[in-house]
Amino acid sequence: MTDMPYRRLGRSGLKVSVLSFGSWVTFGDQVDTNLAKDCLTAAREAGVNFFDNAEAYAGGQSEQIMGDAIRELGWERWSYVISTKIFWGIHKDTVNMANTLNRKYLMQSIDGSLERLGLDFVDLLFCHRADPETPIEETVWAMSDIISAGKALYWGTSEWTADEIRAAYEIAERHHLHKPVMEQPQYNLFETKKVEREFARLYDDIGLGLTTWSPLASGLLSGKYADGIPEGSRASLPGYEWLRDMLTDEKKNKQVTELGAVAERLGVSTAQLAIAWCAANPRVSTVITGASNVAQVHENLGALKALDQLTPDVMHEIATIIHPWLKG
């Protein structure tokens, strides 16, 4: 397998593997601690050093499983980068503890996450969504205080707008606080607006790093939904009914089939091509991949082979499949 490349997280000095491993959907829902250990080991052995999580994933179970797995594997704390994200909360019916970025919630939720993960600190801490009801200044002060307390090393945002990120950065700069370093947006062949247009000025202006999620558009870009929803797939799980319309979109599945022909010519899978396409953007620090078994981990990491083959001509061919008007 091709050696894993590492990229700086934006303008920070921290380096993360260009492909990383995340636990959304799988840990707690499809993966227990033993299987988690196998998947984490497979990723680490391939050079992955960044592992992504969130408080809300499986109501806290995902953090617990990842923390237990890493402890049982005996990994040295200095040898990996781990993140979590806070906003949704796990105390759903409690005022001040759900769907918020107020100071009380932030200061208490990081403690809960660290307890479940079994860690003294996380490397990256994300505000999982923006909170229009809390002043950004209050959120920035709290996140900066969490960094100062040593409970996280860097903080950032997920699915914030460019204006919100810039406001947070400028507040931090004005008050000499710890600034947001990274954003975690969705980014794939069907979802490019934030990364390629909305955030365009932020990369040079504030040195924004990206840890992107859903490189396969929740599985659509794997090609496995061309004939409907397979039994046991993510879209067949209770609570994921919202995915089904997107995954069975006839036009997009036709485009995925065309991408499959390009992938076949290159000797890789459609999924590997799609993941590699995300990693080919130099603004992307790391592409977060997910897997419910070891075979999927190896399949995703095979995208490194595809990355080496994404010449300008191949990238243009892919672009014309997704945006047919470019053919002219």
Residues acting as catalytic residues: 57
Question: What beta strand segments (E) does the chain contain?
Answer: 6-8, 15-17, 19-22, 50-52, 81-86, 122-127, 152-157, 180-183, 209-212, 286-290
To the nearest 10 degrees (0 to 180), the angle between helices 312-322 and 270-279 is: 110
Phi, psi (rounded to 5 degrees) for 7: -130, 150
Per the document, the length of the chain is 328
- For the chain, give percent helix, strand, coil, nearest 5: 50, 15, 35
Copy the structure tokens of residue 132: 């229009």
Question: CA of 253: how far to CAs of 109, 156, 220, in Å?
Answer: 40, 34, 7
Strand duo 6-8 + 15-17: pairing = antiparallel
Torsion of CA 280, 165, 322, 328, to 10 degrees: -90
Distance CA 11, CA 269 (A): 33
Distance CA 314, CA 292 (A): 30
Distance CA 211, CA 53 (A): 12
Complete DSSP assignment for 35-61 = HHHHHHHHHHHTT--EEE--TTGGGGH
Distance CA 31, CA 34 (A): 8
